[in-house]
Amino acid sequence: MKFTRILGAAALSFGAVFSGAAFAADINGAGASFPAPVYQAWAAAYKEKTGTGLNYQSIGSGGGQNQIVNRTVDFGASDAPMKDDKLEAATLLQFPTVIGSVVAIVNLDGIEGLVLNGAVLADIYQGKITKWNDAKIEALNKGKKLPDLAIVPVYRSDSSGTSFVFTSYLAATSEDWKSNVGAATSVQWPTGAGAKGNEGIAGTVKNTKGAIGYVEFIYAAANKLATTDLVNKAGKVVKPETKAFVEAAAAADWKGAKNFAASMINTPGEGAWPITSATYILLPKNPTNAAQSAEAIKFFDWAFGAEGDAIAEKLHYIALPDSVVEEVRKAWASEVKADGKAVWTN
């Protein structure tokens, strides 16, 4: 499966895409912090090329869903795919943009390559494992001198798609977590301290000895935070790196996924990173401002091209497979209409 693309015949020519773009109003979007770095980088490059800007508010997936349902932005962004009935009720089209990974970050001095697994993470976030030298952690890290230090779990205090992805992984690897806490954008965390946004978790962990948190990989890289390795579904210890994210993404069942909601949590594969997910855009199927909706689609159409892919990959995101991009473009052309007319042609 190919995850790097060039602009092909299915994309509109630059002349067709950007005709009149300099006179268009800026695009407004809000939602997930997981993809915020790539959306902001795309926005800067797109404005330089076309003159059209993107104002993106990183307010969390729950906020993004609420704002697009209320039509206060041109598009919403969510890491957690909306349920089919909610999409239908709000007359929204959902499509993926990039694939990213969630990683566990820790603040521990002198510990390199700490290994954890889903069951241990679930126990930490349930308050069942409270010290870094707990026997279950030591069993995964033979030969490492672990400190007799309290663990400070940090979680998202806002409604978050990153939390949905992380708790989905915990539910997939711990029956106890699945039964008692579950997977959602917002859960009742049994223990720990809350922080807002990926930015908030990264900052809190960075400033708290013994802390552990979960963020999209780019936030760990940008803040130079230590990430843990994980034991994946195949029982192999894997590091959070691009090849592991690609292997997880390649195992997704896109064809069998309704509304593009393909799961990449704990996918099989010896080298697959177990906490991998697509992130989604929510766009009105019945826009009141057809021109503005068309501008939003043009932006994402450009982002799916060679320049957008290169920006995404530089930030450690994975580009969508070509076949998925083609299906997304077909959905734009067939499902987004104003007064019965398509606002964008493929």
The counts of H helices and E strands in the chain are 14, 15
At position 34, the amino acid (one-letter code) is F
Please determine, for residue 5, whether its predicted confidence score (pLDDT) is greater than 80: no
Select the more confidently predicted residue: 308 or 16. 308
- The residues spanned by each domain of the chain are 14-99+277-342, 102-252
pLDDT tens string 67-98: 999 999 999 999 989 999 999 999 999 999 99
14-99+277-342 and 102-252, same CATH topology: yes
pLDDT tens string 139-178: 999 999 999 999 999 999 998 989 999 999 999 999 999 9
The total number of residues shown for the chain amounts to 346
Please determine, for residue 2, whether its predicted confidence score (pLDDT) is greater than 60: no
14-99+277-342: CATH topology is D-Maltodextrin-Binding Protein; domain 2 (3.40.190)
The pLDDT, as a whole number, for residue 303 is 98
Distances (CA, A) of 69 to 7, 36, 221, 290: 32, 20, 33, 17
Classify residue 320 by its DSSP letter: P
pLDDT tens string 267-282: 999 999 999 999 999 9
Mean pLDDT throughout 26-37? 94
Give the pLDDT band (50/70/90) at residue 6.
Answer: very low
Q: Report the CATH architecture of 102-252.
A: 3-Layer(aba) Sandwich (3.40)
* CB 159, CB 63: distance < 8 Å: yes
Closest by CA to 261, choosing from 165, 170, 156, 158, is 165
Q: Which long-range contacts (CB under 8 A, 24 or more apart) does 37-41 make?
A: 37/216, 37/218, 37/219, 37/222, 37/315, 38/97, 38/98, 38/218, 38/311, 38/312, 38/315, 38/317, 39/77, 39/97, 41/311, 41/314, 41/315
Give the pLDDT band (50/70/90) at residue 18.
Answer: very low
Distances (CA, A) of 93 to 34, 159, 254: 20, 21, 16
pTM of the model: 0.84
